[in-house]
C-alpha cells in the first residue's frame, strides 16, 4: 500500500533490553517528572478570596441608572424592550406628579420595569438602544435561585443605589468599567 503522506513511521517492536525490563530507570524518570510538578505554578486560584477580573467588555446583570442627584434616568420609552431580541424586558410607564422631581429626571418614568433573566441573553442591545443612558450591563452575573420567579428582576433589584445617600453601594454597583456619561 502506498503511503498517503510521508509522516508514517514504522513501529519498532524489538524486545526490551535488560535495563528496560528492570523498569526501575523508567520509574525513576516518572518520579522525577511528578517531583518536578511540585514546583510548577498552580493555575487554580482560591476562588472566594481571589477572583479573576472580568474582561472589560463583559456583559453582566443590568443596572438601571440614576443621575448625579439620584434621579432615575429611565423614561419608559420602550426602546430597550423593542431592541431586545429575547423579549426579556417589560415595562409600564407613568407620569411624574408634582413633588416627585427629586425621584425622576423627566416627566415620564417607568412605574414597573422587569427583566426576565432566564430569557435575557446578555447581548447588550438594550444598552445600545437606550437614548437616556438609563440601562447598563454591569460586571456581575445573575446568582442562582431556587424558583423561576426569582429570576424576574423588578425595579428594586435593578435600580442602582442612590449616589448621595449610599455612595459606597453606588460606586460598587457602578463598577470600575462603566464610564457613565
Partner 1 sequence: MLLSIGLPLIIEKLVLIVVVVMSSLVIAMYATFAERKVAAIMQDRRGPNRAGPFGLLQPLADGLKLFFKEEIIPNLSSKFLFILGPCLAMLTAMMTGAVIPWGDKVHFFGRDISLQIADVNIGILYVFGVVSMGVYGIMIGSWASNNKFSLMGGLRAASQIISYELAMGIALIALLMTTGTLSLKEIVQQQQEHWYSWNIIKQPLGFLIFLICAFAECNRTPFDLPEAENELIGGYHTEYSSMKLGFFLFAEYINMFLSSSVMVSLFFGGYDIPFVNDASLAESIGTNWVALIHSGVFLFKAACFLFLFMWVRWTIPRFRYDQLMNLGWKILIPLALINMLATGAFILLQQNNWHF
Residues that bind partner 1 (CB under 8 A): 27, 30-31, 33-35, 37-38, 40-44, 46
Q: Is 30 helix (H, G, I), strand (E, B) or coil?
A: helix
- Residue closer to partner 1, measured from CB, 46 or 55: 46
Is the distance from CB of 127 to CB of 136 less than 8 angstroms? Answer: yes
CA distance 75 to 133: 10
Output DSSP code: residue 39.
T
State the minimum distance, in angstroms, from the CB of residue 42 to partner 1: 5
Q: How far is CA 73 from the centre of its chain?
A: 23
- Residue closer to partner 1, measured from CB, 10 or 34: 34
State the minimum distance, in angstroms, from the CB of residue 30 to partner 1: 5
Is the distance from CB of 109 to CB of 94 less than 8 angstroms? Answer: yes
- Residue closer to partner 1, measured from CB, 3 or 38: 38
Q: List C-alpha distances in Å: 61 to 34, 43, 58, 116, 122.
A: 43, 27, 10, 11, 8
State the minimum distance, in angstroms, from the CB of residue 37 to partner 1: 5
CA distance 151 to 137: 16
- Residue closer to partner 1, measured from CB, 30 or 176: 30
- Residue closer to partner 1, measured from CB, 26 or 94: 26
State the minimum distance, in angstroms, from the CB of residue 12 to partner 1: 22
CA distance 53 to 43: 15
Amino acid at each position: 500500500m502506498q503511503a498517503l503522506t510521508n509522516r508514517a513511521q514504522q513501529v519498532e517492536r524489538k524486545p526490551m533490553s535488560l535495563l528496560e525490563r528492570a523498569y526501575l530507570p523508567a520509574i525513576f524518570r516518572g518520579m522525577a517528572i511528578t517531583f518536578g510538578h511540585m514546583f510548577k505554578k498552580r493555575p487554580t486560584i482560591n476562588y472566594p478570596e481571589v477572583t479573576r477580573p472580568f474582561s472589560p467588555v463583559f456583559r453582566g446583570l443590568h443596572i438601571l441608572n440614576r443621575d448625579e442627584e439620584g434621579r432615575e434616568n429611565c423614561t419608559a420609552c420602550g426602546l430597550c424592550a423593542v431592541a431586545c431580541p429575547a423579549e426579556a424586558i417589560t415595562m409600564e410607564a407613568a407620569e411624574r406628579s408634582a413633588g416627585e422631581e427629586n425621584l425622576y429626571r423627566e416627566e415620564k418614568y417607568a412605574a414597573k420595569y422587569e427583566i426576565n433573566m432566564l430569557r435575557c441573553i446578555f447581548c447588550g442591545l438594550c444598552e445600545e438602544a437606550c437614548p437616556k443612558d438609563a440601562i447598563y450591563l454591569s460586571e456581575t452575573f445573575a446568582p442562582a435561585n431556587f424558583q423561576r420567579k426569582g429570576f424576574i428582576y423588578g425595579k428594586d433589584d435593578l435600580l442602582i443605589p442612590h449616589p448621595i445617600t449610599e455612595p459606597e453601594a453606588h460606586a460598587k454597583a457602578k463598577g470600575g468599567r462603566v464610564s457613565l456619561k
